[in-house]
Structure 1
Amino acid sequence: MGIVLNQSLKNTIITYIGFAIGGISTIFLFPSILGKTYYGLSNYILSCANVIMPLFAIGMQNTLVKFYSQCKTEKEQNQFLSFSVLFPLVLTIPLLLLGLFFYDEISLFVTKKNPIVKEFIYLIPFIGLCMAYFEIFYAWARVHMHSVFGNFIKEVGLRLFSLVALVGMYLGWITAIEFIYLTAGIYFVALLITMLYAFRVKKPEFQLSIPHNVKGILEYTFYIILSGSVANLLLDGDKIMLNQYMDIGNIAFYSVATYIALVISVPSRAMHQIVYPITAKLMHENKHDELNDLYKKTSVNLQIVGGFVMLCIFVNIDQLYEMLPKDYAGGIWIVFIIGLSKYFDLILGNNNAIIFNSKYYRMVLFLGLMLVFFTIVLNMIFIPLYGITGSAIATLLSITIYSVAKLMFVVKRMHLYPFTIQTIYSILITAILFVLFYFWKFPFHPIIGIVLKSILVTILYVYINYRFSISKEINQVLNSLIKKLKF
């Protein structure tokens, strides 16, 4: 258990460092150095690659983690590792050949609004393949209890190399076009480094053989392919659809806004890592009341923490955008819209963990497919009407429908309820503080204004939530800190 806790802590720190580097690059450097056209193009290529990645990986990164522990002998382990690396080629090679056969049709479809994309189309499957095999070799290391290095490459390394390339462009060493190609090279290098590390952890002995439990593996893999495709399409599908309706530079505006809004969901990652195994244990032991209590606690705690992050972003958003090129100002509304969708998802607590650990786990896939349908249809309706803001509206509506469907499913089928009167109090506190601080602007440099306003918001938000005891768990943490500070 010491290894698990140690690596979990390191991975959490690495994730936040990577997110900080990505935030600095996304908000301040990419817009001014790369320019809206090539920044939008870069985001479009990476988004498309991320969407097709699960098809190239065939879900093997998850399958490897799930089934490796079932291998009882060294021979079975080698067979399964070999199968995990070689089997994705069975689907990848035909997909690549199919892409080459229909290249003209694909090219015509994706470039009808933005011809600049045509020159870089082949980078999409190349990066997608690099992403897929990176995940497979990262899983290879993880099953041997070596998760930190791969996570560092994924969360920090890729962003750091991209930042270095961006500095190179700023200094005139490379052009914008060369930056796009260099980005593809960075993903290839990340794959090679991770592969060599995985082989160092466990020396490969490749065998052309099929594992004895191949039927169960393929069934699980099929489910993971669909689930992974749905998840990645939801994450990047809106950027892909924007390319079909608008100038590619608008993807740059949209990407900056969505990255800012994404910060709201970051606190949930740490809590879900802790809560997921607890949820599984309670469901396995059939402790309904304790599970219901945990559901309520995760809901209100995530609401308070996520609400605080959202409040700090919302009240400072105008000052933050003052530091960006004027072209990006239209993204302010997107931050509000996407931010609200993330906030609504937060207050559902450990809803996903409950469904995944129940006998209804396949329902997540069904609901996910429903969400993809609504996302595509709503984007087709709202992008022509309202541009990038329309895409944000489509995301808000589709995620709200998805979240309500998951909530109603858990409530009706499992009789579990996440909300209490504290939920309403927390919403009111957040709304009132937003009204008080949003229209108040310090007559200083934006950074100084953001810092001062954030300090005031933090003091009031923490005090009010503590005073009215919105969350007993958070109050206990604060009481513990107060006691330590007194001594």
Structure 2
Amino acid sequence: MKKIAKQSILTTLSSYLGVLIGYFNVLWLLPYALQPEEIGIFRTIQDMGLLFVPFAQLGVGNGITRFYPKVKENQFSFFTFSIILSLIGFIIVLILFFIFKELIIQAFAQNSPEIIDFLAVVLLITLFSVLNTILDSFCRSFLKVAVPAFFREVILRLLSAVLVLTYLVRWIEFNSLMWGLALIYLIALLGMIGYMWKIKLFKLNFDFQAFPQGFLSDFMRFNLITLLGTTGAMLIMKIDSLMVTAMIGLDANAIYTIAFSIAVVIEMPRRAISQVVMPVVSDHFESNRLTEINQLYKQVAVHQLLICSFIFLAIWMNIDSLYHFVPNNAVYEAGKWVVLWIGLGKLTDVLFSINSEIIVFSKYYVFNITATVIMSIVVIVFNIILIPSFGIEGAAIASFIAMLLFNLIKYAYIKKRLNFDPFSMDILKTIGLIFGMAFIHYWTKDLLQPGLGSIILTLTLLIAVFAMGILVLKIATETRKRLFKKIKEVRS
């Protein structure tokens, strides 16, 4: 757990540095530099490109993490084979894209025809992102997640800011801005290659005969089975934005995108922990250490919920102040309730701990297909039903319902098959603390005017009450003991 904690902290630091840059980009720079419809194009093209990534990846990312312990002695042959496989996957996506190009055009032609001009950018983003995820997964097998997270969370956002600033000062036209999106993903990819080369993890070896008997067939089967799982999960995350663009328009997607970007920060610690936990879970399953996995399941649940619920409360208690600083806030504050619903959906993901990672790396990984296919259908159906009636809030509610059902299904399955359970008394105490803080906010929310002063006072109150609640309710006592012991060692 010590190594996990170290890498998680470094990854989380990168994530939150990225969040600060991302908040500057999304809450100030984009609304200041771009018109709402331009923001809609900018984000829709990225979302489309990233939506195709799991399809093109052919499930290889999770396959690397699961099968790496079996081929450590032939790691660079494994690395090379994985890259080749992902390139084949991209070619398949490319062919399918051109086959169904007319259908894609028709989906956006009525409400967002501007999207059609930049479909080539979508494919370039997909290609560079696919290769980046392979490099990321290989680094993760060595528990080297901090630097890849820095490229993913910080460098990409910095490059996006530079790109938009060049458009703001009119050094480039909007068409060049959109093509520049592909360029920044390429730069991030080249940076990852350089990092892996430096630490001697980037080496091509085409000796595929060295793999154990039956290894390649098992690897391919696992990848293809998890393909549906990973694509379904990505579909649940991205489909709402694309459906808002197709069904309402680019302006609506700009409002939705800014609201979504405010809320998505809630899950950053979960992402950081997941990156480090995945190879550990895979290794524990390989060694049949099921008790350790169940213990990790519970530990991660408590710590994730504490951190992420604090962030959720910090955002929601200051939501009016956050929108107060957004340029043209009269337009964008219509997404306020989107923040709440997406935030609750992210908390649902956090509450159920590492259930996805456990299923993927267990012998029951086939179930991931069932769960994600069901949830993909659910989120599309609910979007179709709710968006016409409730607009962008309907899309957010559909995402919340999908994430809640998705996690309930996975929890029930893990409980039945492995008898693992993430819930403990600390979870109930934390939920009670969240509701207590929400109650305090309800009665105090109208006392302050939106602005910097309100943010400072609200955060001070939240920190004080949250810290006192953790101490009084004795939540995560073992972690606090280790922390205080470490502080004493440093002071001495």
Shorter-chain TM-score above 0.5: yes
Which residue pairs with 1:396 in the alignment? 400
Contact 2:324 2:450 in 1 (8 A): no
Q: Which moved more, 1:387-396 or 1:312-321?
A: 312-321
The residue correspondences of 1:130-279 to structure 2 (distance < 5 A) are: 130-139=128-137, 149-195=147-193, 198=196, 201=200, 207=206, 213-272=215-274
Q: Which residue of 2 aligns with 1:22?
A: 22
The one-letter amino acid paired with 1:437 is H
CA separation in 1, counterparts of 2:277 and 2:134? 26
Q: Is the 8 A contact 1:307 1:343 kept in 2?
A: yes
Shift of 1:394: 0.4
Distance 1:403 1:58, change over 3 A: closer
User: 1:194 & 1:297 partners in 2: Cα distance?
Assistant: 31
Could you give the per-residue CA deviations for residues 241-281 of structure 1, whole angstroms, max 9, x where no partner exists?
11220111211211221222222222334444666677667
Counterpart of 2:457 in structure 1 is: 452
Aligned-partner Cα distance in 2 for 1:297–1:4? 12
Match of 2:110 among 105, 109, 112: 112
Which consecutive residues of structure 2, in runs of 5 or more, have no partner in the other structure?
none
Deviates more, 1:412-421 or 1:235-244: 412-421
Aligned runs of 1:40-59 on 2, under 5 Å?
40-59=40-59
Residue 32 to residue 217, structure 1, CA distance change in 2 (3 Å): same
Question: 1:21·1:156 contact (CA, 8 Å) conserved in 2?
Answer: yes
Which of residues 79, 82, 85 in structure 1 aligns to 2:83?
A: 85
1:80/1:211 contact within 8 Å kept: no
**C-alpha contact (below 8 Å) 2:121/2:178 kept by paired residues:** no
1:392 to partner: Cα distance: 0.5
Cα distance between partner residues in 2 of 1:364 and 1:442 = 47
- Cα distance in 2 for partners of 1:480, 1:248 equals 53
Which is further off, 398-407 or 294-303?
A: 294-303
| C-alpha deviation, 1:285, in angstroms | 5.4
Percent identical: 26
Counterpart contact for 1:242–1:251, Cα < 8 Å:
yes
Inter-partner Cα distance in structure 2 for 1:420 and 1:12:
25
SS in 1 for 2:364: coil
Alignment-mate amino acid for residue 465 of structure 1: I
- Give me the whole-angstrom Cα distance separating, in 2, the residues matched to 1:206 and 1:78: 6
CA distance in 1, matches of 2:93, 2:283: 40
Residues 82 and 208 in structure 1, CA contact (< 8 A), matched pair in contact too: no
For residue 467 of structure 2, the aligned residue among 462, 468, 472 is 462
Kindly provide the amino acid, as one letter, of the partner of residue 161 in structure 2.
L
Contact 1:153 1:190 (8 Å CA) reproduced = yes
Q: Which residue of the partner structure matches residue 316 of structure 1?
A: 318
My pick for the range that moved more, 372-381 or 472-481, is: 472-481
Q: 1:151 to 1:454 in 2, by over 3 A?
A: closer
Paired position in structure 2 for 1:376? 380
Indicate the residue corresponding to 2:122 in structure 1.
124
Structure 1 residues 298 and 81: CA distance shift in structure 2, 3 A: closer
Distance 1:157 1:164 in 2: 11
What is the CA deviation profile of residues 297-337 of structure 1, one whole-angstrom value per residue up to 9, with x for unaligned ones?
A: 44344333322221111111111111122111111111111
1:363, CA displacement in angstroms? 1.8
| 3-state SS in 1 of match to 2:474 | coil
Partner SS state of residue 121, structure 1: helix
| Cα deviation digits, residues 437-459 of structure 1 (max 9, x gap) | 34435656612210121011110
Q: Report the more deviating stretch, 149-158 or 447-456.
A: 149-158
Assess, with a 3 A threshold, how the Cα gap between structure 1 residues 264 and 80 changes in structure 2: closer, same or farther. closer
Aligned to 2:338: 334
Q: Deviations over 1:111-149 (max 9, x none)?
A: 232111111122111211121122234456666786555
Instruction: Deviation per CA, 1:395-434: give whole Å up to 9, x if none.
Output: 1111111122122223334444444555444333322322
| Distance in 2 of aligned mates of 1:305 and 1:139 | 25
C-alpha distance 52-480 of structure 1, shift in aligned 2 (>3 A): same
Q: Deviations over 1:55-75 (max 9, x none)?
A: 2232334444554565577xx
